[in-house]
Structures are given as C-alpha cells and as structure tokens.
Amino acid sequence: MASLVSARGVTKRFGSFTAVDNVSFEIEAGKILGLIGPNGAGKTTLLKAMLGLTDCEGELSVMGLDPFRQRKQLMQNICFIADVAVLPRWIKVSQLLDYVEAIHPNFSRKRVEELLRQTKIKSGSKVKELSKGMVTQLHLSIIMSINAKLLVLDEPTLGLDIIFRKEFYANLLNDYFDEERTILVTTHQVEEIENLLTDVMFINDGRILLNSPMDALAERYMEIAASGEKADRARGLGPIAEGQMFGKSVMLFEGISREHLEGLGEIRTPSVADIFVAKVKGARK
C-alpha cells in the first residue's frame, strides 16, 4: 500500500529546545492512525510540520508534496481541526456554510445539513450564541462534510459530552472513512478510540516510542495478574511495568509469548492506554 506520509529524520527545534527529535515513519493510505502522547510530547509540532504550518529539518512528504513549500496545493486534499474550534463569533451558521461552500470544491452542503439535524444547532443562530460544545459540533460537522484524502483531528471531541463523542466516532467510521481516505487523530481519551484504530504511534519528548499496527499489539504485549511464588517467577521474565491490584501483582510484558506465561496467573491483553503508560514511564527511567 502506498505511503501517504513519509518522514525521514524529521527534527524541529525552537532555540535550544528540541520539540521533534529525529523521527522517521510512514503512514499508509487508508489507515486510521492514533498519535498518542502526553502534553508537550511533540504531537502538535509534528502535526504542524505535516500541515505545512512550520518548517523542519529532515525529509517530510505528504501526498508526494513538501508540506511547507507546497502547502496551498496540499491543503486542497486535507481537512484539519485543532483542539480549539475557532470560528467568527459574529457569523450565522447559515452564513458559515455559505462561505465554506463557496471556497471549498469538495464540500457537501447536503451532508453538513444532515449532520447538523442531529444536533440542537439552528441555521439562524450566531456562533456567539452557541455553547462551547455546540461550536465544536458545528466545526466537526463541517469538517466531516469535506471530501478529503487526509483528515487530521487534534483532540477533536474536547469538551463534548460522551453521547456526542460516541456519535461522532460512529459517524466517522461508518459514514466518512473508506480505503481512499486516511485519518490521523490525537486524543487523551485513548480508550474511546482504540477500537477504531488500524495503527497507533506513541510519541514522548519528541521521539517515537512505538509505531505499530493495532493487530500486532495483541501478539507483542501480554499482561498477567499473579501472586506469591508465581508472581516471582513471572517477574523473572522481565516485565516492562508492574503494579498492584486486589492483592495481586499485575505485570506487563513486551515480546514474551503467551506460552511462557501459561500457568503463572490470569493472562489478558493490555489496553492501548496501559501499554502507553508503560512505554512512557520506561522511557523516563
């Protein structure tokens, strides 16, 4: 499958501070990639480089284009929503839709009106009359009504209630995503999206800690709950993280097969969030 995004040795410095540190990766077309990292990890800087909003060292190609030097051409096939939806407060919803329809050839007025009918947003309302959550709903509805090859979502559901978050991700998967589109999403609510992802990438202190297809995680990572002598035996296999729960030691292993853990305790597949915490804490040691 062709790479939509290709990065080789990408680095971004702000004075003496390195926000993105020599990262290399590929994002294939038709994937839903979760970019996961703590605050200040370099996620937003990396996204800005991919969107042509900042220059960087190394080689970075998006849809075969240099995002910084060919941004105008690139943005014809990209949609982006930041963690804060910024829309003119004075404008009416209907006027905003008129504007987007006039400037973007791939915008579907019919689609956005269908999405907005699922909300309490009225076409005659001004943005300043909408709650923060409704502004985000409006922004997301517009973005999902644009036929783009790459959709970049930076904390897209921040401030929304759980009902709309679930509806948004269901619409994203069922009505928007197909093999010709690629979605890149960052979020702190990993549990809500891990079932949607095809791939996941962890970033911390500007470096990539993990870049993997989701189906490979279940083969590479195992978690076991054990106690007593069995816990000691499991500990001897070198877990990358260990905690306590209900009187048992809960250990997470990387690259240890299920066969090696059989008989030592309750084995389960860890969540993406558990793996992420273990990798970040391990990187800080």
Over the stretch 183-212, which tens digit does the pLDDT of each residue have? 999 887 788 888 889 999 999 999 999 999
Does position 1 have pLDDT exceeding 60, yes or no? Answer: no
Do 198 and 148 fall within a single domain? yes
Radius of gyration of the chain (CA): 21
The total number of structural domains in the chain stands at 2
pLDDT of 67 above 80: yes
pLDDT exceeds 80 at position 99: yes
Is 188 within a domain?
A: yes
Percent with pLDDT over 90 in the chain? 60
Helix, strand, or coil here: 260?
helix
- Asked whether residue 114 carries a pLDDT value surpassing 60, the answer given is yes
Please indicate, yes or no, if residue 210 is contained in any of the structural domains: no
Residues facing residue 208 across a β-bridge: 203
Look at residue 143 in the predicted model and tell me its pLDDT: 84
Plot region of 255 (φ>0 → left; ψ -120 to 50 → alpha; else → beta) = left
Is 84's pLDDT higher than 90? no
Predicted local distance difference test score (pLDDT) of residue 285:
65
pLDDT digits (tens, 9 = 90+) for 139-163: 888 888 988 889 998 888 777 788 8
Q: Is residue 210 within 8 Å of residue 201, measured between CB atoms? A: yes
The reply to whether 42 and 122 lie within a common domain is yes
Q: Is 119 helix (H, G, I), strand (E, B) or coil?
A: coil
Same domain, 42 and 176: yes
Domain, as residue range, for 264: 217-284
Do both 37 and 125 map to the same domain?
Answer: yes
- Give the pLDDT band (50/70/90) at residue 112: very high
pLDDT at position 212: 95
Tell me, yes or no, whether 70 lies in a domain: yes
Cα gap 49→212, rounded to integer Å:
21
> Given the DSSP bridges, would you call strands 150-154 and 78-81 parallel, antiparallel or unpaired?
parallel
One domain, residues 178 and 224: no
Q: Determine the average pLDDT of the residues in 261-279.
A: 92
Report which DSSP code applies to 270. P
pLDDT of residue 8: 96
Please indicate, yes or no, whether residues 197 and 81 belong to a single structural domain of this protein: yes
